[in-house]
Amino acid sequence: MWTELPAKVATMSDTAATSDDRGSMPILRLFKKPSSPIDGKRLFFLLLGLALFFSVYLSPPWPAAVDPMGATFELSAQGKAALALFLLAAVWWVFEVVPIGVTSIAIAVTQALFLIRPDKFFVGETDPIGGPELAMKEFFHPSVWFIFGSIVIGMVFTKTGLTKRLAYKMLAIVGEKTSMIYLGCFVMTAALTQVMAHTAVAATIFPLLVAIYRLYDEGDEPTNFGKGLFMGMAYVAGAGSIITLLGAARGAVALGFYKEITGKDVTFFELSWYMAPIGWVMVFVLWGFFMLYYKPERASIPGLRERARDLYAQLGGITGKEILAAIIVVSAVGTMSLRSFIPALKAVDKAGIIMLATLLFFVFKILDISDLEDVPWNIILLFGGAMSLGYCLVQTGAADWMAINAVGLLKTAPATVFIVGVTFFVLIMTNLIMNVAAIAICLPVALKIAPYLGVGGEVILFGALVAAGMPFLLLVGAAPNAIAYESKQFTSGEFFKAGIPASLLLMIVVTFFVIFIWPILGMEVTIPTP
């Protein structure tokens, strides 16, 4: 059962200073699990990570990569060290030998101590920024602050009571079957990601799921229903975000990059025309997957619909703070969405918009200073480390070296195998580095090879965008993954294990669309060879 906390405490799980709906206990303890000292298993994986790092770091020079045009890409000592660092981070993240935020700190520290990151000149600067400084700089990257602001929005929804209103209203509609609760939550998440950034959606939906879960289980231990509910939210947030340009920044950036390489435009409508079918198919595939992989302990929750209606009625009328919070959030989301259509807004970074919303929450006293103590800084550090590692792989040339070697293996493959192979490689890369970077690294090589295999450029682009939107293996692959992790319903290892079959299902769906659906919709999958 729960442990009483001071009324001022507010977290993503329970930001409100009020009691829960079944008693006087807040829900913070619902997901709390006791810490344990490093045991034999943790020590083994801790040492394994270090062993992999030093074995690669101290290894002799690796062979150069050769692209399809014959250009040679040497793997520098710093690039090899970046690969060594990635192996260390991957083992520590997956097996949680230390808190995931601490692993992120280790990423920056290792870059600094071993001088892995090269110095970099910025436009207008006469002196370079040192590599060790750059390793720390990414912890304050705008994307990290965007995640922070998104999490704050989730806290506001809970503290004001908007979360409970939404949760109880949805439960009154979907009913008492746990399968329908899964489906209702997944469809709502995917739908929202088509009009707002999937990170903001995940942060907003998270406390709603917490409120729903409380009506299912009162214990402290994770459940199958909890695992499926929170993991599924993260997965379908990615599936929904590929459908429009509003779901994530990766779409607009990738289209711009594609135009630069090929000279061809892909419109907003054209993107959605091809992406909507596969995005929604994946939502329902994932629903079926979690119903089987994490089958809820109970098929239904008797009396849930009536109880949800009663709890909604007890909330009373909507308050001024709820209205004000909703106005601020809708305004922020609307402004970010309009950036795709209004040129003047493109210069305004989305992180600036969401941080303005965060500022207003404090100005209008919706939040107070004590709420900052309840921000899950472990998650913020996780993404700071992920950004630092991603930039390290890119700037040292390690990412290019991996891409050329991997895609080059497919240069004599049949067209379908080549398309699926490139998509799979982007899927792997997007779990390791920023999805935009993964696309930017893989597309040039793939687009050079594609014409000689009779493969259209668009199918490479869309396959890459699908894979980049659904990193199911690592928490660092996407912000919704890390936000879901805050539920404490699953470990990073469990997330990785579930991600393997989910990723295989994704590749099966992509293959089906490449062979059958996209050609029917008008996509030029194959072209005459030169």
pLDDT at 124: 57
* Summary mean pLDDT of the chain: 84
State the average pLDDT over residues 134-149: 82
pLDDT value for 42:
87
Burial 86-118 (b: 16+ CB within 10 A, else e): bbbbbbbbbbbbbebbbbbbbbbebbbebebbb
The pLDDT-based confidence of 513 (bands split at 50, 70, 90) is very high
Per DSSP, 318 falls in state P
**pLDDT band with cut points at 50, 70 and 90 for residue 123:** low
50 φ/ψ angles, rounded to the nearest 5 degrees: -65, -40
**Region 357-364 average pLDDT:** 94
Mean pLDDT confidence for 256-263? 78
What average pLDDT score do residues 198-227 get? 85
> With bands split at pLDDT 50, 70 and 90, how would you rate the model's confidence at 35?
low
How far lies 330's CA from each of 22, 101, 165, 327, in Å?
31, 31, 17, 5
Give the rounded percent of residues in the chain with a pLDDT score beyond 90: 40
CA distance 114 to 91: 19
Among 198-207, 223-232, 330-339, 447-456, whose mean pLDDT is lowest?
330-339
Considering the chain, what percentage of its residues have pLDDT values greater than 70?
Answer: 89
pLDDT grade for 183, boundaries at 50, 70 and 90: very high
The 10s digit of each residue's pLDDT in 409-425 is: 888 889 999 999 999 99
Could you report the per-residue pLDDT of 269-317, keeping only the tens digit for each? 888 999 999 999 999 999 999 999 999 999 988 888 888 888 888 888 8
DSSP percent split of the chain into helix, strand, coil, nearest 5: 70, 0, 30
Has residue 121 got a pLDDT over 90?
Answer: no
Q: Tell me the C-alpha distance between 492 and 505, whole Å.
A: 20
Lowest mean pLDDT among 28-32, 87-91, 212-216, 227-231: 28-32
The pLDDT of residue 178 is 94
State pLDDT tens for residues 307-358.
888 888 888 888 999 999 999 988 887 887 777 677 777 778 778 888 999 9
